[in-house]
């Protein structure tokens, strides 16, 4: 397998039917990896898999809700079966947001966002660990957010989950280095996906976002998947424990 390719590698990408996850599935598959993905909607997942097969990609999928502990365990059993008990790449992409003032969140909303964004990523790392270790060379990528690095009026619980993911990245990087497993976190600013399309359709809101972004625009899913792919390749084998912003310069914009 070449320095800029992923031939012979196996990957689990959570939430691959839309947005950033979809771009990651396609990027890794195009570079030669065999990919397994998942989402909650059977029909959409089936359509994607047909499209991917038509493009010659080796992608399979499971229908599962990653906010549920037993469904994560089932997913990992399916991944283990497909890839012979080994896994090179785990991309923890699934995440969601509820945007409202901090004083207005209910206990149910707190639990839902925590389970979907943070507990699922943490638990998937736990249960994927034996497969990643057995592969001899593992790479975990978390799709975090710049909202876990700086204060953004996007939703406090969401931001808390992303900040915790950035710390989880550091702990796992240190603890599992002995198993030749690296862990890194990719932190996007606004990217056009189904998660943000309604927000960004509000042109006043988009203008506010863009006015804080040195590159003067929001990002595309392919601008995230490119870094994810690099972090899985032989060229990045000395990078671990990092959170890397892909944000058009937003987090370095003091006051321009
Ligand atoms: P989308 O909502 O567009 O896509 C989310 C994907 O995850 C879909 O495939 C969805 O399928 C799946 N998914 C969601 N919840 C679950 C679940 N409980 N179990 C299984 N699958 C699930 O999101 P994005 O692509 O925008 O976001 C992906 C990641 O990127 C998230 O972690 C998000 O926080 C992060 N991010 C996004 C930014 C943006 O501007 N878009 C900015 C910063 C970070 P289905 O609904 O059918 O289950």
3: confidence class by pLDDT, cuts 50, 70, 90: confident
The pLDDT of residue 154 is 86
**66 Cβ inside 6 Å of ligand 1:** yes
Catalytic pick among 110, 158, 238, 256: 158
Kindly give the distance from the C-alpha atom of residue 18 to the centroid of ligand 1, in angstroms, as a whole number.
Answer: 7
User: What's the average model confidence in pLDDT over 55-66?
Assistant: 98
Q: Is the ipTM of this complex over 0.90?
A: yes
Distance 15 CA to ligand 1 centre (A): 6
- The pLDDT of 32-52, averaged and rounded, is 98
122 is catalytic: no
Confidence at residue 232, expressed as pLDDT on a 0 to 100 scale: 97
Calpha distance 15→94 (Å, rounded): 5
Which of 142, 193, 227 should be mutated for ligand 1, with most atoms under 8 A from CB? Answer: 193
For residue range 207-232, list pLDDT tens digits in order.
Answer: 999 999 999 999 999 999 999 999 99
The residues near 16 (Cβ < 8 Å, ≥ 6 apart) are: 22, 24, 25, 35, 37, 38, 39, 48, 59, 61, 93
- Give the pLDDT confidence of 161-189 residue by residue, as tens digits: 999 999 999 999 999 999 999 999 999 99
67 pocket-lining for ligand 1 (C-beta < 6 Å): yes
CA dist., res. 7 & res. 207, Å (int): 41
In the predicted model, what is the mean pLDDT of residues 12-34?
98
Nearest CA to ligand 1 atom 2: 195
Confidence of residue 89 (pLDDT cuts 50, 70, 90): very high
For the full predicted model, state whether its pTM sits above 0.95: yes
Residue 45 has which token pair?
């997942």
Q: How far is the CA of 68 from the centre of ligand 1 (A)?
A: 16
pLDDT grade for 238, boundaries at 50, 70 and 90: very high
State which of 15, 97, 166 you would mutate to test the pocket of ligand 1, scoring each by most atoms of that ligand within 8 A of its C-beta.
Answer: 15
Q: Does ligand 1 have an atom closer than 6 angstroms to the CB of 113?
A: no
Q: What is the mean pLDDT of residues 109-134?
A: 98
State the chain's mean pLDDT as an integer.
97
At residue 22 the predicted structure's pLDDT band, cuts being 50, 70 and 90, is: very high
Q: What's the rounded mean pLDDT across residues 13-39?
A: 98
Q: Which residues contact 119 (CB under 8 A, 6 or more apart)?
A: none
**Matching residue, tokens 């990002």:** 219
Return d(Cα 124, Cα 92) in angstroms, integer. Answer: 8
CA 160 – CA 155 distance, rounded (Å)? 9
> What local confidence, expressed as pLDDT, does residue 1 receive?
54
Are 44 and 68 contacting, i.e. CB atoms less than 8 angstroms apart? Answer: no
pLDDT of residue 107: 98
Strands (E), the chain: 10-14, 34-39, 59-63, 89-92, 138-143, 181-188, 243-246
User: Which residue's C-alpha comes closest to atom 12 of ligand 1?
Assistant: 15
């Amino acid at each position: 397998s070449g320095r800029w390719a992923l031939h012979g590698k196996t990957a689990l990408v959570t939430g691959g039917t839309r947005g950033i996850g979809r771009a990651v599935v396609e990027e890794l598959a195009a570079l030669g990896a065999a990919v397994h993905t998942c989402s909650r909607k059977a029909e959409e997942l089936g359509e994607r898999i047909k499209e991917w097969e038509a493009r010659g990609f080796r992608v399979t999928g499971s229908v599962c809700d990653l906010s549920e502990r037993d469904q994560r365990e089932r997913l990992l059993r399916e991944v283990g079966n497909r890839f012979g008990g080994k896994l090179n790449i785990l991309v923890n992409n699934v995440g969601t947001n509820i945007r409202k003032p901090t004083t207005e969140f209910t206990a149910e909303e707190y639990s839902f966002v925590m389970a979907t964004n943070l507990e699922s990523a943490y638990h998937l790392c736990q249960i994927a660990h034996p497969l990643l270790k057995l592969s001899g060379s593992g790479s975990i990528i978390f799709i975090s957010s710049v909202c876990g690095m700086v204060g953004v009026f996007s939703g406090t619980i969401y931001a808390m989950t992303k900040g915790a993911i950035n710390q989880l990245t550091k702990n796992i990087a240190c603890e599992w280095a002995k198993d030749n497993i690296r862990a890194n976190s990719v932190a996007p600013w606004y990217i056009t996906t189904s998660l943000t399309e309604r927000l960004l359709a509000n042109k006043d809101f988009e203008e506010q976002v863009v006015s804080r972004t040195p590159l003067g625009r929001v990002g595309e899913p392919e601008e995230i998947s490119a870094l994810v792919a690099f972090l899985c390749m032989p060229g990045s084998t000395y990078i671990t424990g990092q959170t890397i912003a892909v944000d058009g310069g937003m987090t370095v914009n003091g006051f321009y």
